[in-house]
Amino acid sequence: MLQSSSIVLDEYRVSSSHGFLPTELPLRRLPHVYYEQWENLAGQLSTLIQQDKIRDLIDALPVLTTTWLQTEPEWRRAYSILGFLTHAYIWGGQKPRDVLPPSISKPFLEISAHLGLPPCATYAGLTLWNFDAAPGADITDPDSLSTITSFTGTQDEAWFMLISVAIEAKGGKLITLMLDAIEAATQHNISQLTALLCRFTDVLQDVTATLKRMYEKNAPQVFFHQLRPFLAGSKNMAVAGLPNGVFYDIGNGNGEWRQYSGGSNAQSSLIQTFDIFLGVTHPATGDKEKETDQKALKSKGPGYIEQMRDYMPAPHKRFLEVLTDISNIRDYVVSLGSDSPAKEAFNAAVQSLTKFREAHIQIVTRYVITQSRISAASQPAERLNLATASVKSTENSDGSSGSDEDDSGVLHGTGGTSLASFLKQTRDSTKSAAC
């Protein structure tokens, strides 16, 4: 069995200082002039969407090759650009487009294959590889960061993305700590394990405090009506106008229909690392059983959380797989006496992750569930996207209050899940991990 001490983080593109963020700032622009047309569209994206020009300009693009992408940062920047252009093309009009032209499809499929990611806007392309900062700036502070590419050009969108970057930076410093805690359990070093679990709780509370800063510069109505529609995927989006997903046209009538989840924080490797470390298991979405046995869960096939690993960079996905194999904290703590300080520290850590998820539910309630019950006055009545579909579905529901305990059964997240039930289920699964 692999030991935590033998894990070399660099092999998984993970850093002890930056976590799953790149150790060097993402490229602001592809260096080769060959990709100038991509960059020009990305640089004006919000304006071109507002002027209803983006689809025509994408249709007019030549089909570029990936020949001049040389370094990994260049491949990541290209992936980020094409993710933005893809979702701008699909959702940037009165009604969604369900055919993606070869000028996007062909290079995007190649770039995605290189990075081990699906050809759509993912958390990696929207967040991990889409931020900038001044030299020496504190990347754990969202006020020190800026975004590179934007659907809306608003401060609200930037703040939404940068809160996640700051969380990744803060939480990433826990990766080495978690590996050390696994090693301490392996060595039966209870005092060391207890100290590390206490430190984990302290940092995770700080991460939750950063999450709660979402309200500072991100107005719920801007997020819901202007940004969220562009984050939607093509899976389970019939209500928003994509009953078959999207056809990725690679030219001459060739291609295939594809369905992908949209950008979602469920695609954060960091949050799944926390779950694995604490032994939190999530049943498939909609499964009301609260199973804690990992083998029983796997026999049912992967649930939504595990499916989201396919939307992570391939090295990060491998890291989670390795971590799952070696994680031993919960089993070890369960084997200790009821008065063990390690058990108390473990339960405090589980509680801190539960509070993180409760804070997330509160944000979703304010930014999505409540907004879905407010008339889309800022949107043309004929527009069809995830926001207008959500408002219409809510108007056709029973008119309930929209508290975090209410699930109308009609609201979907950008990832395609039934939103409220999924979030409550992940929170309850986290609570269940306590000893």
**Which pLDDT band, with edges at 50, 70 and 90, does 424 fall under?**
confident
Provide the pLDDT for residue 372: 87
Distance CA 325, CA 10 (A): 18
Mean pLDDT of the chain: 89
Domains of the chain and any CATH numbers: 12-157+222-258 (no CATH), 168-217+265-432 (1.20.58.480)
Asked which of 35-44, 107-116, 281-290, 359-368 is least confident by mean pLDDT, the reply is 281-290
Asked which of 4-13, 47-56, 260-269 is least confident by mean pLDDT, the reply is 4-13
Going by C-alpha positions, the residue among 96, 89, 6, 106 that lies closest to residue 42 is: 89
Higher-pLDDT residue of 301, 202 = 202
Provide the pLDDT for residue 340: 94
Higher-pLDDT residue of 182, 391 = 182
Provide the pLDDT for residue 298: 45
Residue 299 has pLDDT above 60, yes or no: no
Provide the pLDDT for residue 305: 87
Provide the pLDDT for residue 229: 95
Higher-pLDDT residue of 290, 319 = 319
Provide the pLDDT for residue 413: 67
Q: 10 Å Cβ neighbour count for 59?
A: 13
Asked which of 3-12, 160-169, 386-395 is least confident by mean pLDDT, the reply is 386-395
Region 58-65 average pLDDT = 98
Residue 94 has pLDDT above 70, yes or no: yes
**Which pLDDT band, with edges at 50, 70 and 90, does 129 fall under?**
very high
State pTM to two decimals. 0.90
Confirm whether residue 282 is marked as ligand binding: no
Asked which of 161-170, 277-286, 335-344 is least confident by mean pLDDT, the reply is 277-286
Region 230-242 average pLDDT = 94
Per-residue pLDDT tens digits for 358-408: 999 999 999 998 998 886 555 555 789 988 888 876 665 544 333 333 334
Region 401-419 average pLDDT = 50
Token pair for residue 114? 């290189």
Residue 335 has pLDDT above 70, yes or no: yes
Provide the pLDDT for residue 400: 38
